[in-house]
Amino acid sequence: MIGDMYLAWSSDEETLKKGEYGGVVTTLLKFALENKIVDAVLTVKKMDGNRYDGVLTLITNPEEVIECAGALHCAPLNIARALKEYLDGSKDMRIAVTCKPCDARAIIELVKREQINIENLVLIGLNCTGTLLPRVARRMFEEIYRVNPDDVVREDIDEGKLIIELRDGTRKEKDLDSLEEAGYGRRENCRRCEISIPRMADLACGKWGTMGKKATFIEVCTEKGSQLLDEAIKAGYLQVETPTREALDERSRKEKEALDRSKKWQEKNFNELKGLNYEERLNYWFNHFDRCIKCFSCRDACPICYCVECRLEVDRNFIPGGELPPDKLFHLTRLAHVGDSCVNCGQCQDACPMEIPISKLFHMLNKELSPLFEYVPGRAADQLPPLTVVTDEELRVDEPYLFLKKEST
Amino acid sequence: MVESFEYVPTVCPYCGCGCGMYLVVKDGRIVGTEPWKDHPVNEGKNCPKGRNAYAFLYNEGRLKTPLIKKNGDFKEASWEKALELVAERLKAADGDSAGFINSGKIFNEDLYVFQKFVRVVMKTNMMDNCSRFCHSTTVPALVSTVGSGVMPTSLLSIERADCIMAAGSNTQETHPLIFHKFIRAKQRGAKVIVIDPRRTVTARNIADIFLQINPGSDVALINGMMKTIIEEGLEDKEFIEKRTRGFRELKNYLSSLQMSEVERITGIPADMIREAARTYANAETSFICFNAGITQHSTGVENIKALADLALLTGNYGKPGAGVSPFRGHGNGEGFGDMGPLPVFYPGFKPVNEETAKLFEELWGVKGLPSKPGMPYMDILEKCSVLYIVGGNPMVSAPDTNRVRKILESKEFLVVQDIFLTETAELADVILPAATWVEKGGTMTGIDRKVQRINKAVEPPGEAKPDWQILCDLAKVMGYGEYFNFNSTEEIFEEIRKCVPQYHGITYERLKKAGGIQWPCPSEDHPGTETMFVEKFATEDGFGHFQVVEYKPPLEVPDEDYPYVFMNGRTLFHFHTGTMTRRTSRLHNEQPDGFVEINAEDAEKLGIRSGDRVVLRSRRGEVKAFAKVTKNIQQGVVFMPFHFSECAANFLTGPTAGPPSRMPEFKYTAIKVEKVV
């Protein structure tokens, strides 16, 4: 049933051994494939065994699923883009997808835009408190942890610490905040992200609330998720038990801790800008935009962008071609088009070759828009983007804050 | 249902940065590009060319079968017939009458087989590479000062420099992911000096000090900077004493110069020159990079010698983030040199002579290898009656296009091996269709000596074959098959390892790592070499040698009849002669046509507004294009990109330096400008 919570673990010994916790995600994916609930699994694997090089993989052979077991903190991809771009929005293929909150949210946004067929998807959500850029992680491990990055076999973020485990079994940990103050640690957008538990997926799986047991905590989020879990249990793939009050509290506490940390980073990243006056703030961004070389990487990387004929392309006669930097409307248009639905996945900023902090701008503005329209991107497929449901009257409003106040009285 | 879905890692086919990317291959066809975030050079970031890199592979203009010209028309032919014809003509060409041109676009394996073919089968050194037109001045200049013409540090180390001086390099447009390192360095507090006659985006976006120099006066400027450094006692005395020779001669010469004269020649106020000099000299680690703006001059060799002097003067060699670096344009811009498809070098930079010929006779198990140097590019074009061009397009890239056309049309036999019907291919007697990039796989060596692997991801179109394969087949037809028994690029690479000492420790297996390996790599457990010249220079005595260079004006200065200075160059969206980028719709759409950049005041005098059609005339030819009026170029200076064959900038160019560089002065030609009425 929706809302049910369990501690679960795989019935298969090998999976349980290989898994970091209960091996539940691997088991569910295998179950779905073996029982033809899906045609394929879309997930992330290490390229050539390199944990800093995560690539998407489409698995049809259940035996291959186990190779992808284990969280890869240094593989920051957004899976939604591949679904939309390369797999036809799961139109004709049933796929089980492992997704971090930003992946799941992006998928939901694309469902709203009719670019993804949610009927054909099973979303196995993965709790997430952030990913790292591979090159930053390597440098951090070398210079701060003083280890050979190739010796790291596992990373974990827990209780404000970034912990690594080496091939020989040694563990090292450093304070996360100190690392991030010094420019290491997680990607900037991850630091600001408020959503650690992907409740918009079918099942949300993670380690919070496992209280040191070799188990995975599952929260059932949809009917589809509930059904899948029940069937997997019935078929003997998984075993479950009810979590204790203590475990539930532990999970809530950790979720709140992550949220508090993210709020602090939002303040840090946004306050500087909010303190500038309008002209100063415009100059700040225009100075960044001056370096733009129109690679379109931000648009290509954005999981929300989906137009076949993009307004920014030269043949739309809007942004003149061949100009460097491109007209400022290039960025402002993208902002107007997707700003209300930005899920803060950070792919745009990762992809920008000119170090323009795009994610910071889009996230900041989305945080302004969100309370105004009471809209949280990626939360529910039936919550349509503000610009598509805005009324004529609302469009003509000059002072949105006053308008809303009037409405509520 | 999807049959196969794979991410294939590869390196961009365009510029010398060597950026990594993932190609998404679905059911045997590339459907997209994804970031390769673990790649050390670009960390998952790409420029517009990189983002659209695979598009040209699928353009319908791809050459799919051999073509033989009959009665002015190209007719499809079998490989057998085509190679038979080519073999016949090559056999009939005696001595030095057959010439071979190759390109930095082609992989190490292809180029190795190329030069082996010319030497073993044709028994000559009559071959040259398109780098004659961009960095032929680099090698003699840097060899005479520091012993080697390569980038002495790594692209990544640029981030650590405290001062960056970009001379004649519009880095943001030509090498965006190196400009990315400039941005990072600047975020850490580095100061950036940009030297360019045009106020390019690079100058506008990153320069702390912008020296808008009169074209062709770089030697005067650098001499002025060095004079300042010595006068103010900012030279690195310890370094000069321990690691260099020839300082006294340089000091004496510089003391004879007048700053007022430097100011007059360069057009830069003496104060600014001094400020730039102090900034460069006072920084802990200073990095100089240069590109076509410096190299493509009749005094290119002198320009670069001056830059090397400046770095030696201030102890900026032998540590990460320092040195003087050429930014090679082609993806394999360093590798081609290593493979030796040149008139004066065998593989591994061994000079063409008796001793080297004997060495390779042993290595290859052959007799009678040529020990006499061949000729440079334009001389080959002119003097050889039979030409074989692989991946080059002299009809657009070579100087004095009218003359090039006459020359090519007069050839007895012209073979062009390429992927599209280029402007040069149209004049050919035989066209051989080549497979390219991820259709064939191989290795490429980029700007900072980084050897990287290109994995094969898809099949070539039609009957197109890898360049190395075509040459091996040709060798077989000509009776030399036993020396060309290669079945894969890996086998060729194994032979390269034996012949090129710098590559000795590199293997295909080791190249699986993102970012490859920087040579020299002497053994399989050697990690590669980031920084060169740490202990000594590559000169014979191990010391850096100061070279005194005097300012000399360019070959063809403006006069009453031809009062403007013309320079050609590049833009971000296109690559060289546009063969690939103009067939990529997203890039083509950004910039479908060529243009003429003309100064606002000059334009006003001539009654020209942006969008007007103008005609440029030189002593050799004329070009018509649309005007782009701008304040970002100096009065008296006119610029055109050379990517557009229908308004080909090289109709105007021509004057060329003498030996050793034989560099055409692309960056300085005298022209006149008129509005087309």
- DSSP string over A301-331: H-SS---SS-TTSGGGTSSPTT-SSPPTHHH
CB contacts of B173 in chain A (<8 Å) are 293, 324
> How do residues B132-142 score in pLDDT, each as one tens digit?
999 999 999 99
**Is residue B199 within 8 Å of residue B632, measured between CB atoms?**
yes
A-B contacts at Cβ under 8 angstroms: 120
Indicate the DSSP class of residue B196: -
Question: Amino acid identity of A249?
Answer: D
Q: Sheet with A171-175: list strands edge to edge.
A: A152-158, A161-166, A171-175
CB atoms B180 and A354 under 8 Å: yes
Q: What is the dihedral of CA A109, A115, A120, A122, to 10 degrees?
A: -30
CB atoms B38 and A48 under 8 Å: no
Cα distance between residue B307 and residue A358, in whole Å = 38
Q: Which of B657, B107, B120, B647 is nearest to B378 (CA)?
A: B657
Q: Using CB atoms within 10 Å of the CB of residue B106, give its burial: 0 to 12 exposed, 13 to 18 middle, 19+ buried.
A: buried
* Strand stretches in B155-285, DSSP E: 163-167, 191-195, 209-211, 244-245
Which chain B residue's Cα is nearest to A288? B205
Instruction: Please report the residues numbered 277 through 296 in chain B whose beta carbons come closer than 8 angstroms to any beta carbon of chain A.
Output: none
B48 in contact with A, Cβ within 8 Å:
yes
Interface of A with B (CB under 8 A): 39-40, 47-48, 50, 52-53, 55-58, 75-77, 82, 85-87, 92-93, 133-135, 290-291, 293-297, 300-301, 313-315, 321-322, 324-325, 350-355
Q: Which residues of chain B have pLDDT under 70?
A: none
Evaluate whether ipTM surpasses 0.85.
Answer: yes
**Is residue B669 within 8 Å of residue B654, measured between CB atoms?**
yes
Q: Which of A33, A36, A42, A47 best probes binding to B when mutated, by most B CB atoms within 10 angstroms?
A: A47
> Residue B70 belongs to what H/E stretch?
strand B67-70
Cα distance between residue B108 and residue B112, in whole Å = 6
Which chain B residue's Cα is nearest to A310? B586
Cα distance between residue B667 and residue B170, in whole Å = 13
Nearest to B9 among A47, A75, A313 (CB): A47
In chain A, the largest separation of any two C-alpha atoms, in whole Å, equals 65
Three-state SS across B82-113? HHHHHHHHHHHCCCCCEEEEECCCCCHHHHHH
> Residue B469 belongs to what H/E stretch?
helix B467-477
Cα distance between residue A340 and residue A363, in whole Å = 9
Cα distance between residue B473 and residue B495, in whole Å = 18
Cα atoms in the Cβ-side hemisphere of radius 13 Å centred on B495 = 23
Backbone angles phi, psi at B319, to 5 degrees: -140, 155
Distance from CA of A231 to the nearest CA of B (A): 26
Cα distance between residue B40 and residue B43, in whole Å = 6
Which chain B residue's Cα is nearest to A48? B512
**Rounded to the nearest 5 degrees, what angle is found at the Cα of B534, between the Cα atoms of B313 and A136?**
105
Residue-level pLDDT at A406: 53
> How do residues A30-71 score in pLDDT, each as one tens digit?
999 999 999 999 999 999 999 999 999 999 999 999 999 889
Cis peptide before B527 (omega within 30 of 0): no
Cis peptide before B140 (omega within 30 of 0): no
Give B421-427's long-range contacts (Cβ < 8 A, gap of 24+).
B421/B61, B421/B63, B422/B393, B422/B395, B422/B396, B422/B577, B422/B579, B423/B393, B423/B395, B423/B396, B423/B577, B423/B645, B424/B389, B424/B392, B424/B393, B424/B394, B424/B395, B424/B396, B425/B63, B426/B395, B427/B395
Instruction: Please report the residues numbered 464 through 523 in chain B whose beta carbons come closer than 8 angstroms to any beta carbon of chain A.
Output: 512, 514
Cα distance between residue A228 and residue A202, in whole Å = 9
Cα distance between residue B435 and residue B439, in whole Å = 6
Residue-level pLDDT at A405: 54
Residue-level pLDDT at A339: 92
Nearest to B38 among A58, A86, A135 (CB): A135
CB contacts of A350 in chain B (<8 Å) are 35, 37, 43-45
CB atoms B205 and A291 under 8 Å: yes
CB atoms A296 and B586 under 8 Å: yes
SS3 state at B80: helix
B436 in contact with A, Cβ within 8 Å:
no
CB atoms B591 and A93 under 8 Å: no
Backbone angles phi, psi at B122, to 5 degrees: -90, -15
B51 in contact with A, Cβ within 8 Å:
yes
Q: Which residues of chain A have pLDDT under 50?
A: 409
Distance from CA of A218 to the nearest CA of B (A): 30
Backbone angles phi, psi at A280, to 5 degrees: -60, -40
B58 in contact with A, Cβ within 8 Å:
no
Residue-level pLDDT at A409: 44
Nearest to A354 among B26, B183, B592 (CB): B183
Residue-level pLDDT at A400: 62
Indicate the DSSP class of residue A244: P
Structure tokens that stand for A363 in this block: 């996230």
- What would you report as the CA-atom Rg of chain A, rounded to the nearest whole angstrom? 22
Q: Using CB atoms within 10 Å of the CB of residue B66, give its burial: 0 to 12 exposed, 13 to 18 middle, 19+ buried.
A: buried
CB atoms B183 and A291 under 8 Å: yes
**Is residue B342 within 8 Å of residue B312, measured between CB atoms?**
no
Q: Which of B37, B51, B156, B177 best probes binding to A when mutated, by most A CB atoms within 10 angstroms?
A: B37
Structure tokens that stand for B384 in this block: 């050889």
Which chain A residue's Cα is nearest to B571? A322
Nearest to A321 among B51, B184, B590 (CB): B590
Which chain B residue's Cα is nearest to A137? B38
Neighbouring CB atoms inside 10 A of A276's CB total 12
Cα distance between residue A32 and residue A29, in whole Å = 5
Distance from CA of A55 to the nearest CA of B (A): 7
> How do residues B414-458 score in pLDDT, each as one tens digit?
999 999 999 999 999 999 999 999 999 999 999 999 999 999 999
Residue-level pLDDT at B320: 97
Cα distance between residue B569 and residue B641, in whole Å = 5
* Strand stretches in A111-237, DSSP E: 121-126, 152-158, 161-166, 171-175, 203-206, 216-220
Which chain B residue's Cα is nearest to A296? B48
Could you tell me how far CA B579 lies from the centroid of its own chain? 16
